[in-house]
Amino acid sequence: MRAMKNIVILISGRGSNMQAIVQRAQSEHWSAKIAAVISNRPDAEGLAFAKQQGIPTAIVANSDYPTRAEFDAALQKVIDGFSPDLVVLAGFMRILTAPFVEHYAGRILNIHPSLLPGFPGLHTHRQALAAGVKIHGVTVHFVTADLDHGPIVAQAAIPVHSDDTEESLASRLLVQEHIIYPRAVRWFIEGKLNLQNNCVQVATDAQ
């Protein structure tokens, strides 16, 4: 029997990727539990879903702290109270400080709506359309202090159509996000990811 692992998920809004992960964890009977869903915004819609699922929730409002360092320290204390094996950023709209990221090195994942290393930062769909790329996508990666440049775990791509808008790209890519993010989290839980020299090797038997 594989030891049960704790997953803590951070959200700022509706948490659709969080919901996808929770649902896949339940339907696929992962050797893991969602130990908590934490938000930096008290009005985050995803908190209601988590509560409905019986998942503990917490709020660490960044507005309560004058500096990023103080907020991150408070957030870290709350997260560590749930003994996480993995921290998952699911639409968590905060840039995290280096000490926070280093504390969870090798056990914190994020999903970014572009094919990294292309189009880091905000407004990725707008960037893609402006650049005229023919392929756009999403990336699951380990989080490092270098924003949106951590080791890549998984990617999914879609064609860019001539009539695409930011909204249509976002909508079609969200479908892919809900597929690859739960899969990547499951790979981590199952020990299928080997992180070495800033590169991720996925076990050949990973599904």
Q: Is 202 helix (H, G, I), strand (E, B) or coil?
A: strand
Helices 16-27, 166-189: inter-axial angle, 10-degree rounding: 40
Q: DSSP for 133-155?
A: -SEEEEEEEE--SSTT-SPEEEE
Q: How far apart are CA 152 and CA 46, in angstroms?
A: 26
Spatial CA neighbour of 4 closest among 84, 76, 90: 84
Q: How far apart are CA 177 and CA 112, in angstroms?
A: 9
- Is 112 a residue of the active site? yes
The count of other CB atoms within 10 Å of the CB of residue 59 is 14
Q: DSSP for 87-108?
A: EEESS---PPPHHHHHHTTTSE
Catalytic residue among 29, 112, 136, 141: 112
DSSP state of 67: S
Just list the catalytic residues: 112
